[in-house]
Structure 1
Amino acid sequence: MKLLILIPIFFITSTSRAQVGFIEDVTNENGHYTSFYAAYKNINDVKDLTLKHDSISIFLLNAKKFTHLEELHLHFGNSSMNYSNLLEIPSLTNLSIDYSYVVHLPDKIYTLKHLKNLTLTHNGIDSLPYDFFLNNTIEVINLESNKIRTLNHAFSHTCNIKVLSLKDNWITELPESFYKLNKLEFLNVSKNNFVEFPSQITRLNNLKVLNISFNPIPAIPDDIYALKNLEVLYLTGTQIKALPKTFKKLNKLQSVFISEDLLTDSEKKKIKQCLPKNCKLTWTNEDYYHDLDFTRELK
């Protein structure tokens, strides 16, 4: 008797879930689609498209037909997919690809002249095209959780990037020309392999938020004061035990996060004395990680 009762209940539940999934797949609201087939039937209406798994391959074969597409979100693809077809969608303003094993990006991705937001996370990317940072329309780039080791790329003063996250990569140093990203306001280089504070960062005059946590850097350079617009600084998981006297010149600094695990009471006291007026200090430990949604902060 129990079996007879359970079977119809399970059938109803499964059917309901399938129906819900079907409804979600073809939902259209302000041009947003989550099904390739539904989107293809209404191709001139598609402005925002989210796809997963095998449906990505089908979409890429037909990418150039989506002439009105502005936002594209691809999840859980694979390395065999031809992402170079994305270059055939010049209308793109927002492109997101994650968990898709995109080891190498299309060489001319910078030619997407309307692109403003680019998210390429958890893909295993180990290198970037040389001209990657030459797109003058992009404002937000998120390259978190890849395998990037170097940034030997062309940088230009005309670049408009305001938000850049390189968190959780294998980077050991920044190129000399990195300072040309002079519009940068939010920079996250946490969880990399920096053994020294990158000197190029102190030349980013518009920087407001810097997260350099979980890098074995031992000290902050004296010219840190050059970051006259800095408001928030994250130093959790570093080997920093002191701050330079010039730190007091950071008049706009509002918050500093520093690990206290390895600090003596005397060292902590001296750090407090180096803080500018009205700056809040938060002691953290190795288990602490504050991850900013830089895109939300920008808005």
Structure 2
Amino acid sequence: MTDNEEKNISKNNSFANGIVKTTLINSIASNLTELDLSSGKLQNLDENIEFPACLLHLNLSNNKLTEVPSNVLKLDNLKSLDFSFNSIVAFDDIPSFCHSIEKLNLSNNSLNGPPLWVWTEVPTNLIYLNISNNKDLCSTFTDSYLNELSQYKALVKEIDIHNCRLSKYVKLLASFCNTKVITLGHEEYEHRLVNNLSHLPCVGLEECTEVEVLDLTNTQLFHIYPNIDIYTNLKILNLSQNNLDSLPNEFCKLVKLETFIMSYNNLLYLPDNMSELTSLVTLRLDNNKLCMLPENLHEVPNLKILDLYNNNLYDGPSNLNLEEVDLAQNYFDEPDSEDYLLKKEKLRISYLNRENGRKVEVAEQSEHSRSISEEEELCDLATDKMTLDDQKDDRASSPEDWDSDDHWIPHSYKPATPPQSPWLYFVKKKMKEGNFCPMDAHATSIGDLVKYDRIYNPHLVHSLEGNSDNYSTDDDS
């Protein structure tokens, strides 16, 4: 299609009330293979519209469609269909393009269940399926329905199903036992939609042993089981932004692993047999709690990229032949050689706001030392109170002055640098003179005094006899 034809289509594509005009499609050349109707606020398509028979690629993303148009279902040769960012609720009808479709994107819709025909009809050419960000995808699941779906073995090679609240329904993944690329997580955390897995391998996913690329970012992982080595074909593994603090030794049996991303976890140490990862090229361990590295890390034969930014290491790695490396924000002096700086700059191309240099060590107080500090603080508070009680203001007043209108004007007292507001300063002045003592304006709060009393006299209940505030007037005595 020529540039002029494209401009004419764009010009004619004047959507009226979210409905595509029939003249638009009828004016398109009959040999058109690609059609983009995205971002047009479409609510539906005129059912009388006939798409070109040879149409291969159709983009209807970013519209307001609530169902799949019937004339789209009738397309025979469609290879890619993009329905992302609409409001489609269901896609269970078997389309004419069932066995010709290669890429299907249904992400960011309102699906109340997966497209059933993908399971029941087993499309022979479907390579990529994206049903991510459908918060109600599992809303219609029952145990029997889930068991039925998991019996089907989809031929999809790449599945993206992140942010679908799969927590109780991960058994669905068993139907993707032949899939090579599985995406269950995303770097943008959505706490209401995240797929909570807790451990790996998990039910369903333990049957996907053919997987080569596995993304479990932000899936609330806490533990990696020793049978992680069932993924013998795994090449790329992303476990970033989880709650992992260790890896089993069996992890190092993933001899085909080329890229391992473990950023933003609680990892304390690595397995001692890391040198068995003979295919490993990229190792990202930034923002963890590593305090030591295995001595044989330099024996990983193909390691080229190593990210150790922001850990708790006291010694850096040595004898490593790396192309990219970042050792900043650890407890050792970061190298300053030109070679290292160039390698760090190369690694940081896609990272922003990273700091340089050595991490500042902060001594942690023990529980015992903290409790002693709290006691000393309370002692100081009690001492301060007794000191304040003994002090008298230079300008004294009698109880009769309290009834004077002048004494109710805070600005009549103007200290050079009052630590409180004028009114609070005035009230505290009256307190020190013994004329007024509201409970919430003590120099030392009642709460602190009670806490002090409980610490030093835990088994006794002390009354405040003799120290209680006297609200009586001269007439009451």
Q: Shorter-chain TM-score category?
A: 0.7 to 0.9
Q: What TM-score do the two structures reach when normalised by structure 1? A: 0.73
Give distance in 1, aligned partners of 2:229 and 2:334: 40
Instruction: Give yes or no for contact 1:157–1:180 (8 Å, CA) kept in 2.
Output: no
Match of 1:281 in 2: 344
Distance 1:220 1:274 in 2: 22
Distance in 1, matches of 2:82 and 2:150, equals 18
Q: 210, 227, 235: which is aligned to 2:308?
A: 235
Count residues with an aligned counterpart. Answer: 270
Name 1:103's counterpart in structure 2: 167
CA deviation after TM superposition for structure 1 residue 182, in Å: 0.9
1:6 is aligned to none
Partner of 1:32: 80
Q: Which residue is equivalent to 1:254? A: 323
Preserved CA contact (<8 Å) 1:33 1:39: no
Instruction: Give the whole-Å Cα distance in 2 for the aligned partners of 1:195 and 1:72.
Output: 37
Determine helix, strand or coil for the equivalent of 1:281. helix
Distance 1:184 1:286 in 2: 27
For residues 65 and 157 of structure 1, the distance between their equivalents in structure 2, rounded to whole angstroms, comes to 29
Following superposition, the deviation at residue 88 of structure 1 comes to 1.7
Cα distance change of structure 1 residues 196 and 134 upon mapping to structure 2, 3 Å threshold: same
CA contact (8 A) 2:245 2:268 kept: yes
- Matched to 2:324, the amino acid is S
Alpha-carbon distance, 1:219 to partner: 3.0
How much has 1:67 moved relative to structure 2? 2.8
Distance in 2 between residues matched to 1:31 and 1:54, nearest whole Å: 23
Q: Equivalent residue for 1:72? A: 129
Letter in 2 for 1:175: P
Residue 140 of structure 1 corresponds to: 213
Q: Is the 8 A contact 1:256 1:279 kept in 2?
A: no
- The answer (yes or no) to whether the contact 1:178–1:200 under 8 Å persists in 2 is no
**TM-fit CA distance, 1:232:** 0.4
Question: 1:114 and 2:169 equivalent?
Answer: no
Partner of 1:215: 288
User: 1:175: Cα distance to partner?
Assistant: 1.8
Corresponding position: 1:124 with 2:159: no
Distance in 1 of aligned mates of 2:300 and 2:44: 50
Q: Which amino acid aligns with 1:54?
A: S
Whose strand fraction is larger, Structure 1's or Structure 2's?
Answer: 1
CA–CA distance in structure 2, aligned partners of residues 189 and 281 of structure 1: 18
- Which string of whole-angstrom CA distances, capped at 9 and with x for unpartnered residues, describes residues 96-151 of structure 1? 11121111454484564531111111423223426845644211111111101001
Q: Is the 8 A contact 1:133 1:153 kept in 2?
A: no
Distance (Å, rounded) in 2 between the aligned partners of 1:160 and 1:140? 9
Residue 44 of structure 1 aligns to a residue whose secondary structure is coil
TM-score (norm 2): 0.48
For residues 90 and 184 of structure 1, the distance between their equivalents in structure 2, rounded to whole angstroms, comes to: 25
Match of residue 462 from structure 2: none
1:59 aligned onto 2:115: yes
Displacement, 1:235? 1.2
User: Is 1:171–1:193's contact at 8 Å kept on the other side of the alignment?
Assistant: yes
* Contact 1:67–1:89 (Cα < 8 Å) also in 2: no
**Residue 160 of structure 1: how far off its partner (Å):** 0.7
Classify 1:152/1:91 alpha carbon distance in 2 versus 1 (closer, same or farther; 3 Å). Answer: same
1:281 Cα offset (Å): 3.4
* Range that drifts further, 144-153 or 11-20: 11-20
Question: Would you say 1:42 and 2:42 are equivalent positions?
Answer: no
Secondary structure, counterpart of 2:244 in structure 1: coil
Would the alpha carbon gap of residues 98 and 109 (structure 1) be closer, same or farther in structure 2, given more than 3 Å must change? closer
1:150 aligns with 2:223: yes
Q: Distance in 1 between matches of 2:234 and 2:279?
A: 11
**% identical aligned pairs:** 19
Deviates more, 1:104-113 or 1:68-77: 104-113
Change (3 A) 1:220 1:192: same
3-state SS of 1:280 partner: helix
Contact residue 157 and residue 182 of structure 1 kept, 8 A: no
User: Where in structure 2 are there 5+ consecutive unaligned residues?
Assistant: 1-13, 21-39, 46-57, 61-71, 84-90, 187-193, 356-477
Hey, what does 2:438 align to over in structure 1? none
Higher mean Cα deviation, 13-22 or 34-43?
13-22
Does the 8 A contact of 1:259 with 1:286 survive in 2?
no
Structure index of larger Rg: 2
C-alpha RMSD of the superposition: 3.8
Letter in structure 2 aligned against 1:55: L
Q: How does 1:160-199 map to 2 (within 5 A)?
A: 160-199=233-272
Residues 247, 270 of structure 2: 8 Å contact kept: no
